[in-house]
Amino acid sequence: MSYLHNIGQYFLMIKEMFRKPTKWSVMRHLIFKDIDDLIINSLGIVAFIAFFVGGVVTIQTALNMTSPLIPKTLVGFATRQSVILEFAPTFISIIMAGKVGSFITSSIGTMRVTEQIDALEVMGINAINYLVFPKFVALMLYPFLISIAMFLGILGGLAASVIGGFVSLDDYIAGIQMDFIPFHMTYAFIKTFVFAFLLATIPSYYGYYMKGGALEVGKASTTSFVWTSVAIILLNYILTQMMLS
Amino acid sequence: MIEVNDIHKSFGDSKILKGISTTFEKGKTNLVIGQSGSGKTVFLKTLLGLFEPDQGSIIYDGTDYSDLTPDEKSDLRSKMGMVFQGSALFDSMTIAENVKFPLRMFTKQGKSEMNDRVDLVLKRVNLDDAHNKLPSEASGGMQKRVAIARAIVNQPRYLFCDEPNSGLDPRTATVIDNLIQEITHEYDITTIINTHDMNSVMEIGQKIIFLKDGIKEWEGSNKNIFKTDNEAVTDFVYSSDLFKRVQKMYLEEDM
């Protein structure tokens, strides 16, 4: 029953997010701040993870292709497909559910505990619009982050294959250009937008409606990570079924 | 002026407010006192519109809050100033930005006009050199003064304070009490203060209501609270040795 209550309250929060907008001069400032906090500050970790996981995907693929009948170009092809279709949009989003999601939940939750949200409401401000909408707008730039992850993942694969001597540079380049289907990029970016929406709203929900003190802020961050990840994985399955099958 | 008529509020099975009626007058410091758990904070938050009463009405200068549309409620709230128990300053903003915040949200004032108003209000609360400090760099007393400055910067009609001097030393607490009283008279606003600090009661309690278990047990002023024969009030007021001595002093005066 409480799950149904939470789902209903979550959708009501989303509706409230678009009602009674905050003054644009203030909102603009909040959006830039959230772009900095959520997107720019995530560049380093996303780049680092994407580059090395791309390398690992390449090494694993190369090591498992023992048959001389399989062309070496398949290593580049498999890396590209893994990175574009799953690793960059989904795996990075789960990492971001931990990084950005817990940041959002704990910052909004702390505002709840310290009565800062009450202060906004007393002033007659739509606190949900003030707090959640800028995060939603900022995370609409999330595909930019995922594009970088895609590029660096494939680049990491290239570096690993060349440095490790698994595949030649030419074979890898030929592999990543092989049988390219542009719709796969569309699919990946549609997923990314959906995940960006989840990353902005689910952690905000857990922060905004939390009750209690500092300990509960920590618990809310953990719960928000779990449910954001669950929602990402479920919607990943549903979108893949709908768009690729 | 705020008129409260028979308000009730429950959370689940727990009845917090059980039919409170009273009137808070303009230009006076109205105190709501009572022990912890007596319903003071719920009462104040209900007056602020943060909680909807289950029953009863709250009338702000002739306007019944329950008759207002959500947007009209928001407009009315923009005329309220609130000083929270923990100050509730926005910790990502400097002190000046905190005070400027209501002006940025609700007025069309230019930057210099807003800055002038912030300077004036910060000076009024004796904080003219703290503009660029973050709330975390300010002491408890300073944070309370910033909260008062933020509450009055947009010239509210109603000022609510939830235990404004809790956690402060007696001297700073007196400074805060006097500041609230001066501001109430200066701006001619309706001020309601939640407190269980007896010094505040003595210093600034022009009108006092005493809550016990969600019921208004007693109503009066600081002039007659020490002479009342209401058992619940005397239990509360004379729960410390200091005030037992004050009671003795009053009784001797009467004789």
Contact criterion met (CB < 8 Å) for B104 and A23: yes
Contact criterion met (CB < 8 Å) for B91 and A124: no
Rounded average pLDDT over A111-121: 91
Residue B200 has pLDDT above 70, yes or no: yes
Average model confidence (pLDDT) across chain A: 93
Rounded to the nearest 10 degrees, how much is the dihedral formed by the CA atoms of A143, A145, A146, A149?
160
Q: Which residue of B has its CA nearest to A21?
A: B105
pLDDT tens digits along B55-114: 999 999 988 988 888 888 888 888 888 898 888 999 989 999 999 999 998 888 888 999
- Chain B hits for A131, Cβ within 8 Å: none
Domain membership of residue B87 (yes or no) is no
pLDDT tens digits along A40-98: 999 999 999 999 999 999 999 999 988 888 898 999 999 999 999 999 999 999 999 99
Rounded average pLDDT over B12-29: 90
Contact criterion met (CB < 8 Å) for B84 and A123: no
| Residue B66 lies in domain | 2-79+156-254
Which band of pLDDT confidence, cut at 50, 70 and 90, is reported for residue A155? very high
The answer, for B157 touching chain A at a CB cutoff of 8 Å, is no
The answer, for B48 touching chain A at a CB cutoff of 8 Å, is yes
Name the pTM for this structure.
0.84
Q: Which residue of A has its CA nearest to B74?
A: A124
Domain membership of residue B57 (yes or no) is yes
**Mutation for testing the A interface, residue in B73, B97, B105 having most A CBs under 10 Å:** B105
Contact criterion met (CB < 8 Å) for B74 and A115: no
Nearest to B159, CA basis, from B131, B137, B181: B181
Domain membership of residue B226 (yes or no) is yes
pLDDT tens digits along B140-173: 888 988 998 998 898 889 999 988 887 778 888 8
The domain boundary, picked from B152, B175, B202, lies at B152
Cα-based distances in Å from A136 to A7, A29, A35, A108, A189 = 18, 14, 10, 14, 16
Q: What string of DSSP letters covers B61-97?
A: TTEEGGGS-HHHHHHHHTTEEEEBTTB---TTS-HHH
Residues B146 and B54 in one domain: no
Q: Chain B 135-154, CB below 8 Å of chain A: which residues?
A: none
Which band of pLDDT confidence, cut at 50, 70 and 90, is reported for residue B243? low
Token pair of A162, please? 């060349």
Q: Which of A23, A116, A121 sits opposite B105 (nearest CB)?
A: A23
Domain membership of residue B85 (yes or no) is no
Residues B148 and B175 in one domain: no
Residue B22 has pLDDT above 90, yes or no: yes
pLDDT at B230: 84
Q: Which of A23, A118, A125 sits opposite B50 (nearest CB)?
A: A118
**Mutation for testing the B interface, residue in A123, A125, A130, A135 having most B CBs under 10 Å:** A123
Contact criterion met (CB < 8 Å) for A20 and B48: no
Nearest to B26, CA basis, from B206, B147, B204, B198: B206
End-to-end CA distance of chain B: 38
Contact criterion met (CB < 8 Å) for A115 and B86: yes
Q: Which residue of B has its CA nearest to A118?
A: B50
Residues B146 and B238 in one domain: no
Residues B39 and B102 in one domain: no
The domain boundary, picked from B117, B137, B152, lies at B152
- A56: buried, middle or exposed (CB in 10 Å: 19+, 13-18, 0-12)? middle
Residues B167 and B102 in one domain: no
Give me the number of domains chain B comprises: 2
Contact criterion met (CB < 8 Å) for B74 and A20: yes
Residue A223 has pLDDT above 70, yes or no: yes
**Mutation for testing the B interface, residue in A33, A36, A122 having most B CBs under 10 Å:** A122
- Chain B hits for A25, Cβ within 8 Å: 104
Residue B29's H or E segment, with its range, is strand B29-33
Residues B110 and B31 in one domain: no
Contact criterion met (CB < 8 Å) for B82 and A119: yes
pLDDT at B250: 67
The answer, for B80 touching chain A at a CB cutoff of 8 Å, is yes
Residues B161 and B59 in one domain: yes
- Chain A hits for B45, Cβ within 8 Å: 118
Q: Which residues face B18 on adjacent strands?
A: B8
Residues B165 and B231 in one domain: yes
**Mutation for testing the A interface, residue in B74, B103, B148, B154 having most A CBs under 10 Å:** B74
Contact criterion met (CB < 8 Å) for A124 and B76: yes
Q: B27 vs chain A: nearest CA distance in angstroms?
A: 21
Domain membership of residue B86 (yes or no) is no
Residues B15 and B67 in one domain: yes
Residues B232 and B160 in one domain: yes
Token pair of B122, please? 């910060």
The domain boundary, picked from B152, B167, B202, lies at B152
Q: Cβ(A27)–Cβ(A133) under 8 Å?
A: yes
Residues B148 and B190 in one domain: no
Residues B124 and B250 in one domain: no
pLDDT at B251: 67
- Chain B hits for A123, Cβ within 8 Å: 77-78, 80, 82, 101-102, 105-106
Dihedral sign computed on CA atoms, order A204, A116, A13, A227: positive
Contact criterion met (CB < 8 Å) for A126 and B74: yes
The answer, for B71 touching chain A at a CB cutoff of 8 Å, is yes
CA angle B137, B138, B141 (to 5 degrees): 160
The answer, for B37 touching chain A at a CB cutoff of 8 Å, is no
The domain that contains B49 carries what CATH number?
Answer: 3.40.50.300
Cα-based distances in Å from A185 to A38, A180, A237 = 23, 10, 17
Residue B255 has pLDDT above 70, yes or no: no
